[in-house]
Amino acid sequence: MTDQTNLDALRAEALQWITDDPDKAGRDELYRLLDGLPETADELADRFSGRLKFGTAGLRGPLRAGPNGMNLAVVRAAAAGLANWLDAKGAEGPVVVGYDARHGSREFALETARVVTGSGRRALVMPGPLPTPVTAFAVTRLDGAAAVQVTASHNPPQDNGYKVYLGRELGGDLGAGAQIVPPADTEIEAAIEALGPLSEIPLGDEGETLDEGVLDEYLAAVASVVDPDDPKRLASVATPMHGVGGATLVKAMVRAGFPAPSLVAEQAEPDADFPTVAFPNPEEPGAIDLLKALAVDEGADVALALDPDADRCSVAVPTGDGGWRQLSGNEVGVLLADHWMRKGRKGTYATTIVSTTQLKAMCAARGFAYMETLTGFKWLARTSPDLAFAFEEALGYCVAPEFLRDKDGISAALVVAEIAAGQAARFATLQDRLDELAEEFGVYETGQLSVRVEDLAEIAACMKRLRANRPASLLDEPVVDYLDRLPEADVVTITTANARVVARPSGTEPKLKAYLEVREDVGGDLQAARERARASVEALKAEIAAVLGVPH
């Protein structure tokens, strides 16, 4: 094909899409690109390089017109596919529709509601922009067939997305209120592909707007995870990072008996442009700098950071020298697990294959059941009927699976506050408790090699190099276990007596990730053990980067 032939084919494809796009703004956007040809050919080709696929994370992509973006046309198709799938499954009940404060979120939520009501099913729309965990809670509390949350979580401002949760009927004992897993994703995707023209999808009204009662029920539930007899005296600061969790977190803290946290003023209100952070993700360097500064000014005991849809929580603690340190997700997970174990919470404690192995050691020593899963809360939620607690290193924690089988930053923040207040009552900190656990179980130092790419083929090439150049040793210790999880998952785990590497592509971002862990015996000198472990993690990062062929 000649270049002109390619351009003509691209123009024809775009014009065909425009005839079926229900959004005038989207149509105008594409017309402008067509008018700019041939200079806009690459941009237009990217938008028509394929359709945004519906997977276990639902949809997530840049806000832009065309099939390879988040827009009203793609959302209408996704909602219709979901509605048809629910009908095919014979599922009764309404669809709960929630949304955050990102660009387009409310419009996408109302479009979803119109499609759901047009299919003959009730749509229950949240009363305003609210955290994702409220929607996950509501789908079971309101006996929904499914729930949709319009959010891109911690993605950049130009993105949006679409998460789907199952109710009791389709989710069963383990999946009620949890995100979908295969084969639901492929079945919904097939239902989307089977649709005819979007103009033929019947549309109803915008559904029933729920009152604040559903939020009040959620707040009552999360407040109940805190022991009313435990200490509540606590000075805390927090940030919702321009997202929707600020007001809900304050209400939950007060309802549980804690003083209200001081919020970072610049980040307290929802702002879809996320002006004070490069990436609205608490894990990103510099993302909680304003929070730490406020913690210093306030003389706080603990600092809490929610991601924009409030399903994840990061924690920072004072270092004793006037500074503050952000805890890793593994450290917070271990603190939460230890708290529940000491409270006598029975059941299974679960984490993922990329999270710290310290939880496994704690369960073995204390007599608790342990399970691990592939990465993602959709798997953690389904580990066991007696699930007591679950966490993943990416700042996700499920502290109360009895009413919410998904990660929830707000209920996790309340339990962190409970631990911190208990420590403060004995003139100690969260770091002191981590030190005590290190003395008991050894130092588990974790790190991560994370490589962001422009071309996803680079990730595949790195994983291929890792499989082709299988290390015989790490940190001068022989490899005792090499596990390649293909075809189940694109994950490689390499283990020695005291170190472990887990390499995988990110499921939500264009990144390659290698999760690193080194264990050191304390040997009477905790500080020296920590220093040895940190140095070993850095050396391990260099070794694995060389194998993958990436900079570190």
Q: Could you give the residue numbers annotated as active site?
A: 153
Question: What residues pair up with 306 in beta bridges, in sequence order?
Answer: 313
Q: Is 35 exposed, middle or buried (0-12, 13-18, 19+ CB in 10 A)?
A: exposed
Q: Judge contact between 153 and 136, C-beta under 8 A.
A: no
Structure tokens at 141: 């509390």
Largest CA distance in the chain: 76
Q: Judge contact between 272 and 103, C-beta under 8 A.
A: yes
What is the DSSP code string of 341-382?
Answer: HHTT--SEEEEETTS-THHHHHHHHHT-EEEEESSSHHHHTT
b/e per residue 259-278 (b: at least 16 CB within 10 A): eebbbbeebbebbbebebbe
* CA neighbor of 439 nearest in space, from 527, 351, 349: 527
What is the DSSP code string of 407-473?
Answer: --HHHHHHHHHHHHHHHHHTT--HHHHHHHHHHHH-EEEEEEEEEE-SSTHHHHHHHHHHHHT--SE
Structure tokens at 182: 């295969």
Q: Classify residue 170 as left (phi > 0), alpha (psi -120 to 50) or beta.
A: alpha
Catalogue the E-assigned strands of 206-301: 208-209, 236-239, 262-263
Q: Is 367 exposed, middle or buried (0-12, 13-18, 19+ CB in 10 A)?
A: exposed
Pairing of strands 348-352, 369-373: parallel
Distances in Å between the alpha carbon of 138 and those of 66, 171, 217, 241?
Answer: 32, 14, 9, 24
For residue 530, give the 3-state DSSP assignment: helix
Put the strands of the sheet holding 492-495 in their side by side order. Answer: 443-452, 511-520, 499-505, 492-495, 481-484
Structure tokens at 299: 């003389």
